[in-house]
Amino acid sequence: MRRKEKSVQDRKLIDNIIHASDVCHLSCCMDEQPYLIPISFGYDGAAIYIHTAPEGKKISIFEQNPRVCLSFVSYAKLQTNDEQPCNWSFSFSSVIAEGEIKEISSSKGKTKALNHIMTHYSGRSWGIPEKAISGTRVWKIILEHIGCKISPPSE
């Protein structure tokens, strides 16, 4: 990381940024062609959980290359400068993480993962209908490498 003074190692702060993010951007790659999508997610402190339709482009990519990269931004604000246009910037809190995506196939595992997603957005656990569980593919990404940067607002 070029700007070491903005780097954060505190895992509790990193977790707070992930929990405060509404959208995760997931990046994957197949045949040297990158693919980036915004997704909803759940987080348990060690892994990210996502769900997909039964088939589609990202599933084909996951099956060929399970390595993924994730981006979370929990705060971003434009910092302007009325005197110098080249001194504009952003204050932000962001996390970039890498890992390997694996499908969860058991009904119990899928229910638990879907509840992580629902809890992230609703703050509570849900009874997930079996029809929803059987018609949805659910995935787990264990976070292996995590980087975090915070650029506070300028004064």
Domain boundaries, the chain: 4-151
pTM (two decimals) = 0.87
4-151 classified as CATH 1.10.10.10? no
| CB neighbour class for 74 (10 Å; exposed up to 12, middle 13-18, buried from 19) | middle
CA distances from 52 to 59, 60, 66, 114 (A): 8, 12, 15, 11
CA atoms of 90 and 73, how far apart (whole Å):
12
Find out whether 118 and 125 touch, Cβ atoms under 8 Å. Answer: yes
Which backbone phi and psi does 103 adopt, to 5 degrees?
-80, 140
Return per-residue pLDDT of the chain as tens, 155 residues: 455 655 666 789 889 999 999 999 999 999 989 999 999 999 999 999 999 988 899 999 999 999 999 999 987 676 667 777 777 766 678 899 999 999 999 999 999 999 999 999 999 888 888 888 888 999 999 999 998 877 666 65
